[in-house]
Chain A
């Protein structure tokens, strides 16, 4: 499942009655409190891993051991530790450690832009579906079915064929692939929120549909969005690595973990560790964002439609 996007618990099929939602909500408040009181292990481990990636990326802007794009042909295939190359050098004699550090920037950029695209398009679409219902909802849902049925990889091929393969086309393709996920989550939560009496009350006092979207719907889905966003981030990193591996992502010379991995594959005979570093980097950052997403899910419990604020 290289680039398929997993839809979270499909809120689409049934629309729970208010009584049902409330029945689910009450005991959950208890457990949410219990979980809220302590940091869970996933959150800590995920936080550390993600923190490390972010820190590496930031540091790379001001300092890397060597210039990550500097080619020294005489310095090819150094083993780790040799010639001042902490993690060795690649087929063109570039410093692997420096490339890994600079590659972290690309990875984070891809994750962020992808999630922002998905949020900016998906959240309003889901909101419109929940608030206006009728044909608008039908249109949004059918469009999202369409996108879900269309593999993101194909979309990436299409973009790369029409434009030039670049980080941007990769981010666009992955971002669009995530739009339905966000639209569906927002719609599902939105339908529940719209059934709440306080939305009717807000309308009674003159709130417009847009006002309800910002004051009642968005705050209610914020925690779900944070969790989904973090998990989407992880999938986006993997997807970009895969696209770069196939030559559909970040073009040289911008350092990218996915391309480093694909380059290293050609020289497995010359240097067996060359593939290890980008592979490990991808694996650890994907793991980090997944753990962070899990931890946040437990902390924020998106099942709660109504969160009780701290006293």
Chain B
């Protein structure tokens, strides 16, 4: 695969991507690239526009929301693609794992039927064959007694097992790009680490390109190569994980890092400090820099939106920290 010879070649190139909720713009022309075989973390507080960005890339925005701009996957602009063409790609070349596995599984269909579905749709496997594959997949995601679980319903599985089943569905066709939207947020703390380890291993085995959305910064530090920071629907900082976490430029990234109750000495601060104020609702961010009402460094200049600037490590701030 060309990804091996040229590891930085982007599989997905997002540019000028905006999402509107009715007439309000919720995501403001974000641009980033997902390098082949690399893992990119997408962080930011709740309400920063992470999920909307991911849904827009997948062409899955709910009714009433619309995307503009480009999200190019292998010469195809996902934003402009028809639903039929997206159906062919989704679940096969592009896949996604959701935050809440219970609601993402149909309560009245067996686990086997659901895990087998992508294989039926994209590989044309018949009932028996696809169920046999579903069983292998459940074993691969380490669900105990996989054969028995095939005939069970989602509510009969534990939260961790349900998320494993979702992961099995997502990787069933060996997708090139996998988006995981807070895959462990809804799980017990004790199983979060296991599920992340599983995800880590599978992404490795499949050579997939991962976009991991989370607000757990240590997870990004441990799993990802690059990190994107979003706030107020803007991409505010981007760079290699080491650089961004060691020397954050954007005051928001700095604040995020400082808000971690840190046991990890690699992180820049041992203190624990909450970011003052709360994330404003949609359309209630200040004009100019969206962080300016919470930012300790804000000046009059910040009433104008700064551009995302820098080489490799970029930040959108008039008064960057380092």
Give chain A's interface residues, CB within 8 Å of chain B: 133, 195-198, 200-209, 211, 215-216, 219-220, 306-309, 311
* In the complex with contacts A200-B60, A203-B60, A206-B87, A307-B108 CB distance below 8 A: yes
Query: For residue B153, which residue of chain A has the nearest CB?
Result: A309
Which residues of A are found within 8 Å of B60, using beta-carbon distances? 200, 203-204
Query: For residue A198, which residue of chain B has the nearest CB?
Result: B106
Q: Flag B202-243 by CB within 8 Å of A: 1 or 0 each.
A: 000000000000000000000000000000000000000000
Cβ–Cβ contact A208 & B87, under 8 A: yes
Query: For residue B103, which residue of chain A has the nearest CB?
Result: A197
Give chain B's interface residues, CB within 8 Å of chain A: 58, 60, 62-63, 83-84, 87-92, 95-96, 98, 100, 103-109, 117-118, 121-122, 153, 155-156, 166, 169-170
How far is A216 from B87 in the complex, measured between Cα atoms in Å?
A: 16
How far is A24 from B199 in the complex, measured between Cα atoms in Å?
A: 35
Query: Pick the contact of B98 from A197, A211, A309 — CB < 8 Å?
Result: A197
Q: Distance in Å from the Cβ of B183 to the closest Cβ of chain A?
A: 13
Which residues of A are found within 8 Å of B105, using beta-carbon distances? 198, 201
Cβ–Cβ contact A205 & B84, under 8 A: no
How far is A214 from B88 in the complex, measured between Cα atoms in Å?
A: 18
Q: Distance in Å from the Cβ of B177 to the closest Cβ of chain A?
A: 12
Q: Distance in Å from the Cβ of A120 to the closest Cβ of chain B?
A: 24
Which residues of B are found within 8 Å of A195, using beta-carbon distances? 62
Cβ–Cβ contact B156 & A206, under 8 A: no
Cβ–Cβ contact A204 & B91, under 8 A: yes
Which residues of B are found within 8 Å of A206, using beta-carbon distances? 87-92, 118, 121-122
Query: How many A-B residue pairs lie within 8 Å, measured between CB atoms?
Result: 78
How far is A306 from B155 in the complex, measured between Cα atoms in Å?
A: 12
Cβ–Cβ contact B118 & A205, under 8 A: yes
Which residues of A are found within 8 Å of B63, using beta-carbon distances? 133
Q: Distance in Å from the Cβ of A89 to the closest Cβ of chain B?
A: 55
Which residues of B are found within 8 Å of A211, using beta-carbon distances? 121
Which residues of B are found within 8 Å of A205, using beta-carbon distances? 90-91, 95, 117-118, 121, 169-170
A-B contact pairs, 26 of them (CB 8 A): A197-B100, A197-B104, A198-B103, A198-B104, A200-B104, A201-B104, A202-B117, A203-B60, A203-B87, A203-B90, A204-B170, A206-B88, A206-B90, A206-B92, A206-B118, A207-B117, A208-B84, A208-B87, A209-B83, A211-B121, A215-B106, A215-B117, A219-B108, A306-B108, A309-B107, A309-B108
Q: Distance in Å from the Cβ of A168 to the closest Cβ of chain B?
A: 38
Query: Pick the contact of B90 from A204, A216, A220 — CB < 8 Å?
Result: A204
Which of A196, A208, A219, A309 is most buried by chain B, counting CB atoms within 10 A of its CB?
A309
Closest 4 CB pairs of A and B: A206-B91, A205-B91, A197-B103, A201-B104
**Given A198-B103, A202-B117, A207-B91, 14 other A-B residues pairs in contact with their CB atoms under 8 A:** A197-B98, A197-B104, A203-B90, A204-B91, A204-B98, A205-B91, A205-B117, A206-B88, A206-B89, A206-B122, A207-B121, A308-B108, A309-B107, A309-B108
Query: For residue B179, which residue of chain A has the nearest CB?
Result: A204
Which residues of A are found within 8 Å of B103, using beta-carbon distances? 196-198
How far is A42 from B62 in the complex, measured between Cα atoms in Å?
A: 42
Cβ–Cβ contact B96 & A204, under 8 A: yes
Q: Distance in Å from the Cβ of A138 to the closest Cβ of chain B?
A: 14
Q: Distance in Å from the Cβ of B37 to the closest Cβ of chain A?
A: 22
